[in-house]
Homo-oligomer: A and B are copies of this chain.
Amino acid sequence: MTEPTRADRFSFGLWTVGWQARDPFGDPTRPPLDPVEAVHRLADLGAYGVTCHDDDLIPFGSTAAERDRLIARFRTALAETGLVVPMMTTNLFTHPVFKDGGFTSNDRTVRRFALRKVARNIDLAAEFGAQTYVLWGGREGSEYDGAKDVRAALDRYREAVDVLAGYVQERGYGIRLALEPKPNEPRGDILLPTVGHALAFIANLDHSDIVGVNPEVGHEQMAGLNYASGVAQALWADKLFHIDLNSQRGIKFDQDLAFGHGDLVNAFFLVDLLEHGGPDGGPSYSGPRHFDYKPSRTEDIDGVWASAAANMRMYLLLRERAAAYRTDPRVARAREESGVDNLRIPTLGQGETFADLLADRSAFEDFDADKAGERGYGFVRLNQLAIEHLVGVRPA
């Protein structure tokens, strides 16, 4: 039950297992990893998909011939393993030209270059059959409040996303775009810092129908926000197009730990939401379970693969625990006492108008607020039950 299979739809970025572990204070500790080897090893471990930035596969500045060669051998690896490429994305952050951003650089020539770089790789994504194209604007932002006109930047951001969405539609690629929020790092403040800001931005797009979000665990937690709640709001808005699983230990630099190695309780409720949070108790999200993590810098290549496996195993363990939680009658009773499902009942009755409510004396004039305030919600008990399921305590 904790052995991953392709039906679990686990995918990894090439940049995850391929991370050479260069950090702001340290040189790489691992040699480059051939994307072809990554594909084979991930397939062996039970993944069903692999994702990448353009530059992960084809180094920036490669010739057309080199590009073709690299794409061809990657294709071969995919064919040999059966792995798919459900998502692709663009690197608009490593090269110095993007030091002030891509779509929102203060230099228009850079903005134009960025659009072209993305468009070229969207073509490739379509060739690979990707359904989702992620846009992480990690360099779109600033360190200094006077350095960036935020409203102008949002104008340019909108222009870029709408142009690209239009391109995708015109070409009939069947791809949807997913914006990935992050509050800071590498910029002091990044535009669209949270799931909320990204969803709000999308609502102002011409092509908002094919643009959603790709929330990453650690990115929301870097702002001290509840990741499962953010994902729930994205689902509520019907905009959870993709997801980036990893973990983080509090508000600090972006840690990209293996899934479940940070805030374990929130991870449990996230899996519960994804797997059993649908209206019928079924899955609320059917896309890839994509890991965007970094094998710690202390690990050698064996540790890389062990960490890749750990991600999937944590997900499966939590899925199992969540299933037991959902089917435990004690939990059902506790949820009932806590009124968890009461909240699904509309506040106004069926056919009731607000005028009716205003006329309902039982709702206000005759409502005993002091008495109603005595109710205990039993939230601690419910949470204790959840944590017991998480730690594998079986109902007696």
Contact = CB atoms under 8 A, between A and B. Distances in A.
Contact of A372 (B107, B374, B388): B107
Contacts of A232: 150-151, 154
A354 B24 CA distance: 32
A307 interface: yes
A274 B316 CA distance: 31
Given A108-B347, A295-B380, A391-B392, A254 B24 contact: yes
A154 to B, nearest CB: 5
Interface in A303-349: 303, 306-307, 310, 313-314, 317, 321, 335, 338-348
A347 B114 CA distance: 10
A174 interface: no
> Which one of A146, A228, A376 has the greatest number of beta carbons of chain B within 10 Å?
A146
A390 interface: yes
Interface string A105-137: 111111111011101100000000000000000
B223 A224 contact: yes
A144 B345 CA distance: 21
A249 B113 contact: no
B97 A369 contact: yes
Given A145-B228, A188-B257, 19 more contacts: A21-B99, A22-B22, A24-B185, A25-B139, A26-B94, A27-B96, A29-B374, A112-B367, A116-B357, A146-B272, A154-B233, A185-B252, A189-B229, A192-B196, A196-B199, A251-B252, A261-B380, A261-B384, A303-B379
Nearest to A307: B380
Contacts of A60: 369
A384 B316 CA distance: 13
A1 B313 CA distance: 28
Interface string A263-307: 111101100100001000000000000000001111111110011
Contact of A94 (B25, B94, B191, B354): B25
A363 B118 CA distance: 13
Given A27-B94, A264-B265, A342-B106, A381 B99 contact: no
A58 B257 CA distance: 34
A370 B97 contact: yes
B222 A252 contact: yes
A115 B357 contact: yes
Contact of A347 (B159, B250, B306): B159
A260 B261 CA distance: 15
A370 B176 CA distance: 31
Interface stretch (A32-40, A77-85, A160-168): A160-168
Contact of A379 (B147, B163, B166): B147
A62 to B, nearest CB: 13
Contacts of A198: 196, 200
A377 B109 contact: no
A274 to B, nearest CB: 13
A67 interface: no
13 contacts: A24-B186, A25-B93, A106-B338, A111-B347, A115-B363, A143-B296, A144-B382, A146-B340, A186-B297, A223-B223, A258-B380, A310-B381, A314-B384
Contacts of A75: none
A188 to B, nearest CB: 6
Contacts of A298: 99-100, 143, 147, 376-377, 379
A51 interface: no
A148 B343 contact: yes
Contact of A112 (B105, B310, B347, B388): B347
A99 B254 contact: no
A259 to B, nearest CB: 11
Contact of A156 (B233, B346, B379): B346
